[in-house]
Structure 1
Amino acid sequence: LIRFFQGNKNCQWSEEWLENVPIDHFSFHDNRVFRLRYLISTEHFVSNGPIFFYTGNEGNVELFAQNTGLMWDLAPEFNAAIIFAEHRFYGKSQPFGNESYATIRNLGYLSSEQALGDFATLIYHLKNKRLLVAQNSSVIAFGGSYGGMLAAWMRIKYPHLVEGSIASSAPVFWFIDMSRSVPQDAYNRIVKRSFLSSGCIEKNILDGWIALKNLSLTTTGRAYLNGLFHLDKKSHLKISTDWIMLKEYLEDIFESMAMVNYPYPTNYLAELPGWPVKVACQFFNSNKSKNDEELAQSMYGIMNLYYNYTGQKKTFCIKPDVCNDSAYGALGDPFGWPWQSCTEMVMQQCSSGPPNDFFIKNCPFSLKGQELYCINTFGKLGYTKALMRPHWSILNYGNRYPTATNIVFSNGYLDPWSAGGWSLKSRVMGSLISIIIKDGAHHYDLRGKHQLDTNSVKDARRLFFQHYLTMLLVLLEILIAGRMVTSDNVRKIGIFPPTPIITRNSSDNLWMTTKLNAIMESMNYEWNVKWYQSMPIDHFTYRNNEFFSLKYLANYSYFLCDGPLFFYAGNEGDIEAFAQNTGIMWDLAPRFHAAIVFAEHRYYGNSKPYGKRSYMDVLRLGYLNDIQVLADFAQLITFLKTDQEELGFCPPGTEIPVIVFGGSYGGMLAAWLRMKYPHIVDGAWASSAPLRNFYGTGINPESVSNVTTTNYVTNGCDWKVFSEGFVAIQKLSKTEEGRMKLNQIFRSKPGFEMKNFDDFTSLYSYIYSAVFYMAVIDYPYPTNFLTPLPGFPVKVQYNLLFYIIAYACQYATKAGINDEELAEQLYNVINVYYNYTGQLTDHCFTSNCTILSPFQNNDEVIAWNWQCCTSMTMQNCDRSGENDFFLNTCDNPDGLINISIKYCTELFKDIGYSSNFYKLHDTMIRYGMIYNATSNTIFSNGNLDPWSASGVYENSPGITNAMRNGVYIFYMSDAAHHLDLRTPNTCDPPSVTYERFQVTNIIKCWVYKNCTELPTSNPLPDNTGWHAPDNCQFIKHGYPWGYMEPKVYSYPIFTQ
């Protein structure tokens, strides 16, 4: 237990460690873990009380705990726990111990994104394990300087974990992409302002630089300077240019003293008196003429004040490559921040000299100059300029925060870093608040109460208090709504495999398969195949400088500069199939003057980072996951909007709205892309997205199977044909005679017949896949999305007035017959799925014929299985009994999770898979299942779709609040998997047509700025009395599809 004094308070904390923190949160090529240190105080914490969470900076975490008294002052009033989390690679949180800074292969894991991942993991641990009864605790992030940036970004990237942030002195916009609003010489301009307002005379400082240069020209002068400044022998000035070392050393002092210009004595970066800048100005406030020696003495005066206010230091070392002396030495880890400034935190800073500042001019800032510094500093570790990504921070975190809420950005007028803050003026924009403290230095407001505090900082802290109360009231409303959600009243969902994969040839995880001809002529869409050739393989670490080519399909024939970009977030398959089956984008594009882009998902189709070697081992395959592909899409969209050969030809200042479409897993990506990159994506249509199909959401894992079964039984199938039929084929599989009968019934491919009982699992999986996917794509007209099928393939022929073709359920209406006849009925059902065109003469389903199956692309099978074995660890099982007609897998004594891990380990054992790659809570931590911070997203599901069981609905946590911010929920009768994204058709049920009509008007409002009020959604028809017509035809450009178009706003007139 460590104690320290904060004002008159005796504060204390315990040092604890979070074990098994992943080295890499964003890929699965490295299974190593490390220990993250944090300081904790629960002295005032009560059940479900708030958690005050400090997002650690670039230094030892104790330093921030001792200098962030505001948290300690507020904790008793709010019964809060206090956490100070240490930033990886700083303090004691060294992932590789003494080797952490040895090579870029280690140091490359030092980044803000990885640190945020650490903090998110720690918050999840605190709320669910470490603290007693904290599941409903609100988390408020605090941070100053770089820690303030992290606090703001925690709220922006993880709003489901952090209810609000106090981001003090956070230069969130100090990046080269923001150079117009943050001039490169802004920092030193404010340094000058602070010193001159404290009584310094600018000419004396400028003359001081000249004096140092003059004295360094001679041996006598250099000897004088060596003695005057008490320089350590190893940093003596020996040649005339050595004065530059002394100049830079002194510049750091001016710059850092302006940061810590507090009204009372402190020891944050150095032991200093109150208002140290004013004290320092005693050396520069004389109007008396001085010679070079006297001017040099003034320079020594400020150095001695900063480094030796206590009088204990005897010598000073100014040579950076041999000395530890630094204006920022108190932070420790001297190479941590330089590394970050050489990778992601590339901040433009330089001195323009008079009249901007009183330093020697070294502007303009250049990336080449920064690259040279970085290579000189880290080249011996393997650094190359390819590791510098100067545009990434703004691309990743944003140059604006359109959806951010509950963040207080505070800046001090005296603080040089204030130039890069969210706002240079006090202002309120929604629940984003900017506070400018007129006599405040660097994160002065985060310090504890002091008798010498200025009135402006007291006012700022009062505003913090008021804003925090507002956050608590919002959270209370969310929690009350959240308690209403139970697993019984949440609807069902689906797209991926509903059961654990049993054999290598199982198609459960595959849903992009067939290359057979369509039953119904499809619309012909045209596109250009393009490649983005410089996509980073790893967006989130700085150790892999490899790039790959990402494929995308583009059609700009409808685009005008007043229009949006319609962007499809590619799923687990060839992108052409999604382009051909997402007709709504093509249908609406001319009306919106929209550009159309379909982006392929990495590791699928032709976008394989390592070509044929992409699946060879975890070192390559490990970069396949959802968060990396979201970064791909964000980078691609930014490129498309700015490149002259794409959409960048529009006049300067043109804002091109981006609407992301996605179905199934693509729908999940569309929603997550809006959540993670709202500064890039203006809205998302997430159709049939099973976003809640994960552990810990309250969704029953057997829900998908229940919806599948309900679909069949409702449409005339006999439940017992399936439930008893599966038992029958299991029984037949146990004997040689029975297997012979099954081979005959299921037309087993010669040479690949069932030979033992183990082959039952292959046959069962083969049947299961057909039954499940036929329910998924139970469309009202013939399609060939996964395989050629008739319209409504699940339905039975009730009578010729309703349905012309007899489909699957006509083969499953008679239970109570013998085992062979039950097996025959099951065969007839699945033959609709696998062989509706009649081209197959036999079926191949045993494990040794995977490659021979015409319905599988083995690459996609491997890739999707990999995702299911890493971050997409979805929960699905079959309950049997009253829930569904499948065999029971929910009650396996080994447990579903253990079975999945065992399967994954066996499947990928040859390429280096480790069981700790199976991330059970990754999606929960990364994206959350509380949607109060979500905006401009359409969640649509159909009642026929098994995956609808785990979609997002009105009763999902936080949705009530989110619906005020452009979130819409549509639940369509008689609709299967993302039917609403397909080309409009005369056979579409009224519910789908009216949903599309409403969605189109919502997108209008997202796209056109003259829409000042979001449309309200209306209930969809239940299709009572509706029947699909006999002749189904596509409808081209049919909006408003018989409904009355709203007149609230109109399309802009644009001439190009």
Structure 2
Amino acid sequence: MTSKLVVVFLLLAGSIAAVKSLHIPGFVNGKPLRYHLDGIRLPGNVAADNCANETWFSQVVDHFDSSNKDMWNQRVQVNQKFFNASITDRPLIFLMIGGEGPAEQKWVCREDYTYMKLAKYNKALVIQLEHRFFGKSYPYVKNSTMGDMSTSTLRLLTSQQALEDLAYFIKNYKFNGNIAFTNPRWIVFGGSYPGSLCAWFRADPRYSNLTLGGICSSAPLLPKLDFYEYAEVMEFAFKNWSAIQKTNCDQLITQGFAQLRQNTYTDSGRAMLNSMFNITPPLNAAMDNYDLYATNFLANIFNVFQGIDQYTFDGRDNITIGGYNIDNLCKKMLASPSDPLTGIKNVVFWDPTNSNPGPQNLDNDYYGDVSLFNQSYYDYSNYGAADIAAGRGWMWLCCGMALGWLQTTDNSNGMFNRAVNLK
């Protein structure tokens, strides 16, 4: 089992490297550490925030233990821009389900997002409910801002509890704290893990009568340990794009990852990679548990391609709209047609907001990165700490709660050459 859990640690460790150096965008299983990096890298994104009113909802700590009477404050973001507050009978409410990270206001503020266009057209009230144990929504808190993520408390972090949170919220929500709607029409929204919650909420007969409908996007419906299908979809996107543009970008990526993995396991190859990527600490076969460092390095590279691929099409923001996408990734690969490794390096160190980023290095301190997830308390008032806490929470959902969804490259097509395998 330990070897299987390594995949989660590797993907998370690649994300923490990004927090230390903005040259490498950070991703946790395909979802970026966007909660503060957007504001740092592209201040324009902040303009999409602050349209919503942040409030707190008194939520049940443990829905499955009637003897536990504890309550906690769950963060709620409300945008009433399109809503006619005088309509209290059968109002339409769009509920965005929070996921494995702090609730970003852009999801209730960005009017160019499809569901926000629907909200405007239908004059809906838009609400986002932050997931328990993420952002500022902790059932137990110490010293006002220290969220309790000890293992004894993480037993309360389950998708079952999250579904009950949604149900309790819908049943008890009051607009502006004191207005109870009559026969409100709730529509739930979610993508990726929140998409799974959305689908489970709609399908479960205990909850299905609480909502009129749901749009549940990119939603894995069943737990699965080796989730190699994610990489297959990535490959399809690169191959399809290459076919449309009539280029061999997909072939160059395949060749580059094959060379990358091969060089990771030879002395001369490691020396070349250390020089090319300025890997810190350098890859060295004499390291204890070298395979962890090697796979961590490969996962760091894969995560960059993973994030650009997914967010070319989904959850777009100023970075991707501004050119951080598959089209420009392929242009970087095609600029070195006889040297795909250089193309990969140029993608990894690509900073769309800075044409002269200075010294470039790839942080690959596996144990140092993983140690950040060993804490029991995180200061959620600190953006960096909140992101790290989200990594610990997501790790718990994948492993402790056994959702799995470990995004490996063990698929048969082989574009990424088993860079991140399960074992």
Q: Provide TM-score, normalisation by structure 2.
A: 0.74
How far does residue 889 in structure 1 lie from its aligned partner after superposition?
A: 7.5
Aligned counterpart for 1:538 among listed residues 53, 62, 66: 62
C-alpha separation in 2, matches of 1:714 and 1:585: 27
Q: How does 1:446-595 map to 2 (within 5 A)?
A: 500-501=7-8, 503=10, 505-507=13-15, 508-509=28-29, 511-514=31-34, 515=37, 516-518=40-42, 523=48, 526-533=51-58, 535-557=59-81, 558-559=83-84, 560-562=87-89, 563-576=91-104, 577-580=106-109, 583-595=113-125
The aligned residue for residue 196 of structure 2 is: 668
C-alpha separation in 1, matches of 2:154 and 2:212: 31
Aligned counterpart for 2:220 among listed residues 675, 690, 698: 690
The aligned residue for residue 825 of structure 1 is: 343
Q: Structure 1: which amino acid aligns with 2:165?
A: D
Unaligned runs of 5+ in 2: 1-5, 16-27, 243-247, 374-382
Alignment size in residue pairs: 363
The answer to whether the 8 Å contact 2:79/2:125 transfers is yes
Q: Structure 1: which amino acid aligns with 2:272?
A: K
Q: Deviations over 1:613-671 (max 9, x none)?
A: 52222x20111111101111111121215x773441x5xxx211111111221122122
State yes or no: 1:724 paired with 2:240: no
How far does residue 776 in structure 1 lie from its aligned partner after superposition?
A: 0.8
Q: Structure 2: which amino acid aligns with 1:704?
A: Y
Q: Structure 1: which amino acid aligns with 2:325?
A: P
The answer to whether the 8 Å contact 1:754/1:846 transfers is no
Q: Which has the larger radius of gyration?
A: 1
Query: Structure 1 846/887 Cα, relative in aligned 2: closer, same or farther at 3 Å?
Result: farther
Query: Structure 1 846/730 Cα, relative in aligned 2: closer, same or farther at 3 Å?
Result: farther
How far does residue 527 in structure 1 lie from its aligned partner after superposition?
A: 1.1
Query: Structure 1 540/780 Cα, relative in aligned 2: closer, same or farther at 3 Å?
Result: closer
Q: Deviations over 1:898-941 (max 9, x none)?
A: x5xxxxxxxxxxxxxxxxxxxxxxxxxxxxxxxxxxxxxxxxxx
C-alpha separation in 1, matches of 2:316 and 2:278: 25
Q: Which structure would you say has the larger RCO, counting Cα contacts within 8 Å and 6 or more residues apart?
A: 2
The aligned residue for residue 331 of structure 2 is: 810
The aligned residue for residue 640 of structure 1 is: 173
Q: Structure 1: which amino acid aligns with 2:173?
A: L
The aligned residue for residue 128 of structure 2 is: 598
How far does residue 585 in structure 1 lie from its aligned partner after superposition?
A: 4.2
How far does residue 552 in structure 1 lie from its aligned partner after superposition?
A: 0.6
State yes or no: 1:746 paired with 2:277: yes
Q: Structure 2: which amino acid aligns with 1:837?
A: T
The aligned residue for residue 705 of structure 1 is: 231
Query: Structure 1 674/525 Cα, relative in aligned 2: closer, same or farther at 3 Å?
Result: farther
Query: Structure 1 856/836 Cα, relative in aligned 2: closer, same or farther at 3 Å?
Result: farther
The answer to whether the 8 Å contact 2:191/2:217 transfers is yes
Query: Structure 1 761/871 Cα, relative in aligned 2: closer, same or farther at 3 Å?
Result: closer
Unaligned runs of 5+ in 1: 1-498, 796-806, 900-1056
How far does residue 568 in structure 1 lie from its aligned partner after superposition?
A: 0.9
Q: Structure 1: which amino acid aligns with 2:346?
A: N
Q: Structure 2: which amino acid aligns with 1:793?
A: N
Identity %: 22
C-alpha separation in 1, matches of 2:322 and 2:120: 30
The answer to whether the 8 Å contact 1:570/1:578 transfers is no
The answer to whether the 8 Å contact 2:332/2:346 transfers is yes
The answer to whether the 8 Å contact 1:510/1:860 transfers is no
C-alpha separation in 2, matches of 1:765 and 1:856: 22
Q: Structure 1: which amino acid aligns with 2:308?
A: M
Query: Structure 1 728/789 Cα, relative in aligned 2: closer, same or farther at 3 Å?
Result: farther
How far does residue 520 in structure 1 lie from its aligned partner after superposition?
A: 6.8
How far does residue 604 in structure 1 lie from its aligned partner after superposition?
A: 0.5
Query: Structure 1 556/780 Cα, relative in aligned 2: closer, same or farther at 3 Å?
Result: closer
How far does residue 524 in structure 1 lie from its aligned partner after superposition?
A: 5.2
State yes or no: 1:762 paired with 2:265: no
The answer to whether the 8 Å contact 1:510/1:864 transfers is no
Q: Structure 1: which amino acid aligns with 2:232?
A: N
C-alpha separation in 2, matches of 1:680 and 1:782: 30
C-alpha separation in 1, matches of 2:213 and 2:178: 21
The aligned residue for residue 659 of structure 1 is: 187
Query: Structure 1 877/738 Cα, relative in aligned 2: closer, same or farther at 3 Å?
Result: closer
How far does residue 888 in structure 1 lie from its aligned partner after superposition?
A: 3.1
The answer to whether the 8 Å contact 1:783/1:791 transfers is no
Q: Deviations over 1:796-839 (max 9, x none)?
A: xxxxxxxxxxx11123248985xxx443221112233xx22224
C-alpha separation in 1, matches of 2:386 and 2:269: 28
C-alpha separation in 1, matches of 2:277 and 2:139: 40
Query: Structure 1 630/878 Cα, relative in aligned 2: closer, same or farther at 3 Å?
Result: same
The aligned residue for residue 240 of structure 2 is: 714
Q: Structure 2: which amino acid aligns with 1:863?
A: G
Q: Deviations over 1:188-243 (max 9, x none)?
A: xxxxxxxxxxxxxxxxxxxxxxxxxxxxxxxxxxxxxxxxxxxxxxxxxxxxxxxx
Q: Deviations over 1:665-714 (max 9, x none)?
A: 1122122222231221111111222225637xxxx954322221121133
Q: Structure 1: which amino acid aligns with 2:74?
A: L
Counterpart secondary structure, 1:505: helix
Counterpart secondary structure, 1:775: helix
C-alpha separation in 2, matches of 1:656 and 1:865: 36
Q: Structure 1: which amino acid aligns with 2:322?
A: P
The aligned residue for residue 326 of structure 2 is: 794
C-alpha separation in 2, matches of 1:634 and 1:762: 39
Q: How does 1:262-277 map to 2 (within 5 A)?
A: none
Q: Structure 2: which amino acid aligns with 1:771?
A: F
Aligned counterpart for 2:161 among listed residues 609, 614, 628: 628
Q: Deviations over 1:874-896 (max 9, x none)?
A: 36543455x13122389x7xxx5
C-alpha separation in 2, matches of 1:780 and 1:585: 13
C-alpha separation in 1, matches of 2:282 and 2:321: 26
Counterpart secondary structure, 1:669: helix
C-alpha separation in 1, matches of 2:331 and 2:386: 27
How far does residue 764 in structure 1 lie from its aligned partner after superposition?
A: 0.4
Query: Structure 1 647/674 Cα, relative in aligned 2: closer, same or farther at 3 Å?
Result: farther
Q: Deviations over 1:1013-1046 (max 9, x none)?
A: xxxxxxxxxxxxxxxxxxxxxxxxxxxxxxxxxx
The aligned residue for residue 264 of structure 2 is: 733
C-alpha separation in 2, matches of 1:789 and 1:537: 40
C-alpha separation in 2, matches of 1:873 and 1:689: 14
C-alpha separation in 1, matches of 2:411 and 2:41: 36
Counterpart secondary structure, 2:74: strand
Counterpart secondary structure, 1:660: strand
The answer to whether the 8 Å contact 2:132/2:157 transfers is yes
C-alpha separation in 1, matches of 2:170 and 2:70: 20
The answer to whether the 8 Å contact 1:781/1:790 transfers is no
Query: Structure 1 856/574 Cα, relative in aligned 2: closer, same or farther at 3 Å?
Result: closer
C-alpha separation in 2, matches of 1:580 and 1:740: 48
Query: Structure 1 726/829 Cα, relative in aligned 2: closer, same or farther at 3 Å?
Result: same
Root mean square deviation of aligned Cα: 3.5
C-alpha separation in 1, matches of 2:66 and 2:321: 48
Counterpart secondary structure, 2:256: helix
Query: Structure 1 810/626 Cα, relative in aligned 2: closer, same or farther at 3 Å?
Result: same
C-alpha separation in 2, matches of 1:814 and 1:668: 39
Counterpart secondary structure, 1:604: coil
C-alpha separation in 2, matches of 1:840 and 1:554: 41
The answer to whether the 8 Å contact 1:658/1:681 transfers is yes
The aligned residue for residue 379 of structure 2 is: none
The answer to whether the 8 Å contact 2:100/2:394 transfers is yes
Counterpart secondary structure, 2:326: coil
Q: Deviations over 1:729-763 (max 9, x none)?
A: 334334555434323322445xx443444422121
Q: Provide TM-score, normalisation by structure 1.
A: 0.32
Counterpart secondary structure, 2:8: coil
Counterpart secondary structure, 1:500: helix
